[in-house]
Amino acid sequence: MSIDAATVKQVATLARLRVTPEEVDLYVGQLSRILTLMEALNRLPTDAVEPMSHAVAMAIAEREDVVVHGNQRAALLACAPETEQGHFRVPKMIE
Amino acid sequence: MSQKGLSTQSGAEGSARARYETVIGLEVHAQMLTRSKIFCGCSTRFGAEANTQICPICAAFPGVLPVLNREAVQMAIKTGLAIDGQVRLLSEFARKNYFYPDLPAGYQISQYELPIVEQGALWIDSPERGEGVRIGITRIHMEVDAGKSLHEGIYGASWVDLNRTGTPLMEIVSEPDLRSSGEAGEYLKKLRAIVRYLGVCDGNMEEGSFRCDANVSVRLHGDSVFGTRCELKNLNSIRNVMRAIDYEVERQIELLEEGGKVVQETRLWNADLNSSRPMRGKEDAHDYRYFPEPDLPPLRLTAERVAALREAMPELPDAKAARFGQQYQLSRYDAGVLTSSRELADYFEAVAAHAASLGHGNAKMAANWVTGELAARLNRDGVEIGQSPLQPWQLGKLVALIQQGTLSGKLAKEVFEIMCQEGGDPQQIAEQRGMRQVSDEGAIDVAIARVLASYPDDVAQYRAGKGKVMGFLVGQVMKATQGKANPALVNQRLLAKLAE
């Protein structure tokens, strides 16, 4: 299975990645090879196999419903490029 | 404001409209009433100062790991059981990828292919289709809420408050089973009553803890495929949901009748203008590039855990309404009104129990006072039953006093007013103010004798067969007793006297 340049560009746009024309060509080749490999799986009988979403068989951890964090605003806002009156300041959004 | 080009219903348009069927599916986002967020230990309290309830996890700093809040899972299971859904013993979290400044991670942790609940339903009384219409619920999944963006009054920028980020949400998705705005309203009322009964969501649409998006399409009656749908957003009350749907149905039918096509889009409702406008084209689902959340292993539940929650379920609105109908001989309507909230139902039962403890078990009368006089009073003052000016025992005793004949309905209303304003025991109020209904036969007979002596002509007319005069005579006796006489007794004694 192969993937075309338009799809690569679309995925890059959705992921907010800037790609050069040379990179598009590179990724078309690489992604097509990955998909070809995946296609091999389609030829195997997997009806009786439970779909795997995680490589490591682990149980999910659950925590009790307790508030443990206090106000950390100053420290967290200090990491932001721009802040204003206790808020993160970002470029104007439409709507 | 104007209807934005939508003309009012004329004959021809009316018949065009009748040829179309409305199809509605609702997506409800219900904030769960946990103390802390779904994946971190920040508070979920509403109304705190901006960004004071955030931490590196919900603010999506690199390298942090989410840890699932057990209570959020419990609440989602309870809701699933309450809507007769199938609780999946294996469910999974997934990343829904999109970029927006109030979503600091660049993805929302949600559930996609394996939601915690599937295939539920609830039953509504439809204004058009009658009682007990089944509305399917496709799924309930857990997800995180986003933060809030502020735009107004900020020059050249937007502000972001992440306090809400990470608040646990249940997204409850209905099947496209609703056929009118009225049914949508009934569905939302029922669903809201259920989550409130369970204590899993406060159901406050104005504050945004119970939000609704509506998918609306129309098709000609008999068509087997659905029309193109539009998604309506920004519906912050049940009334607005209904108005927005009505507007959208009109808009789509008008469009189709003019030979146009409905374009699939998201539309933003403006309650002030009573109209909607397109927001953005609906992205295709794969644009979100869902994939299993690598930071959270699958959620596996034991059957025992689900069974324990099933055991602990409170009595839900439908079951309670059915019980009220049987136990108290109430109409379906009265039972429905009284069970619309758990607090109101409990209040009514306390009133009825108090009246019964005084030997007067007419629960219908208790129901009438709660849904009539008291509800009007609460409505007027804009308060909920929890802030009722009357304790259940006060109203219960008042009902008992009416049933035992001590107070007439008219006097009871006066006592009710006094209790609302000054508090107190209805019996003492009545006694102190001489409001006792006169049920003393001797006193009534004296009044009757005086009236009969004063109106000999009317008495003669009655005896000559003019039964109508009876009403006048009863009125005169009531007047003679300043309205305190027991009307039933007056009637009875007067008939006896006139027959002598």
The answer to the question of residue A31 being in a domain is: yes
Q: Tell me how many domains chain B contains.
A: 3
Pair B110, B232: CB distance under 8 Å: no
Q: Over 80: is that where the pLDDT of B483 sits?
A: no
Mean pLDDT of B220-235: 91
Are B28 and B80 in a shared domain?
Answer: yes
The answer to the question of residue A23 being in a domain is: yes
As given in the structure block, the two tokens for residue B357 are 């403890």
- Tell me B259's DSSP state: T
Q: Tell me how many domains chain A contains.
A: 1
The answer to the question of residue A16 being in a domain is: yes
Assign B108 to helix, strand or coil.
strand
Are B299 and B334 in a shared domain?
Answer: no
Are B400 and B451 in a shared domain?
Answer: no
By the CB < 8 Å criterion, does A80 face chain B? no
State chain B's mean pLDDT as an integer.
89
State the Cα–Cα distance between residues B20 and B277, nearest whole angstrom: 22
Mean pLDDT of B21-25: 96
Are B33 and B74 in a shared domain?
Answer: yes
State the Cα–Cα distance between residues B396 and B403, nearest whole angstrom: 11
The answer to the question of residue A34 being in a domain is: yes
The answer to the question of residue B73 being in a domain is: yes
The answer to the question of residue B98 being in a domain is: yes
The answer to the question of residue B283 being in a domain is: yes
- Phi-psi category of B404—alpha, beta or left, where left has phi over 0 and alpha has psi -120 to 50? alpha
Give the helix ranges, DSSP H, for B83-209: 181-198
Number of neighbours of residue A5 by Cβ within 10 angstroms: 12
Mean pLDDT of B345-367: 88
Q: What is the CATH number of the domain that holds B483?
A: 1.10.10.410
The answer to the question of residue A29 being in a domain is: yes
Are B456 and B409 in a shared domain?
Answer: no
The pLDDT > 70 percentage for chain B reads: 95
By the CB < 8 Å criterion, does B50 face chain A? yes
As given in the structure block, the two tokens for residue B45 are 């309290």
As given in the structure block, the two tokens for residue B299 are 């959620």
Assign B446 to helix, strand or coil.
helix
Lowest mean pLDDT among A18-27, B52-61, B209-218, B412-421: B412-421
Residue A30: which of A54, A13, A7 has the closest Cα? A7
Residue contact B156–A69, C-beta within 8 A? no
Residues in chain A: 95
Pair B398, B405: CB distance under 8 Å: no
Are B454 and B422 in a shared domain?
Answer: no
Q: How far is B124 from chain A (nearest CA, A)?
A: 34
- Domain boundary among the residues B252, B273, B304 is at B304
Confidence of residue B14 (pLDDT cuts 50, 70, 90): low
Are B214 and B104 in a shared domain?
Answer: yes
Pair B198, B79: CB distance under 8 Å: yes
Are B402 and B344 in a shared domain?
Answer: yes
Among chain B residues, CA nearest to A59: B297
CA distances from B441 to B409, B430, B444, B488, B494 (A): 19, 20, 5, 11, 11
Residue B193: which of B319, B71, B312 has the closest Cα? B319
- Domain boundary among the residues B432, B451, B477 is at B432
Are B336 and B294 in a shared domain?
Answer: no
Pair B20, B220: CB distance under 8 Å: yes
Among chain B residues, CA nearest to A58: B297
The answer to the question of residue B313 being in a domain is: no
Confidence of residue B2 (pLDDT cuts 50, 70, 90): very low
Are B102 and B244 in a shared domain?
Answer: yes
- Domain boundary among the residues B398, B432, B466 is at B432
The answer to the question of residue B309 being in a domain is: no
Interface of B with A in 51-70 (CB under 8 A): 51-56, 59, 61, 67-70
- How does pLDDT run across B251-292, given as a tens digit for each residue? 999 999 999 899 888 899 998 888 998 876 545 545 888 999
Are B261 and B220 in a shared domain?
Answer: yes
Q: What is the CATH number of the domain that holds A13?
A: 1.10.20
Quick one: B5 exposed, middle or buried, by C-beta within 10 A (0-12, 13-18, 19+)?
A: exposed
The answer to the question of residue B1 being in a domain is: no
Residue contact A85–B298, C-beta within 8 A? no
* pLDDT in the model for residue B468: 81
- Phi-psi category of B313—alpha, beta or left, where left has phi over 0 and alpha has psi -120 to 50? beta
State the Cα–Cα distance between residues B83 and B76, nearest whole angstrom: 11
Domain ranges, residue A30: 5-42
Are B136 and B281 in a shared domain?
Answer: yes
Domain ranges, residue B385: 318-432
Residue contact A91–B158, C-beta within 8 A? yes
Residue contact B61–A53, C-beta within 8 A? no
Task: Give, rounded to a whole angstrom, the gap between the first and last alpha carbons of chain A.
Answer: 41
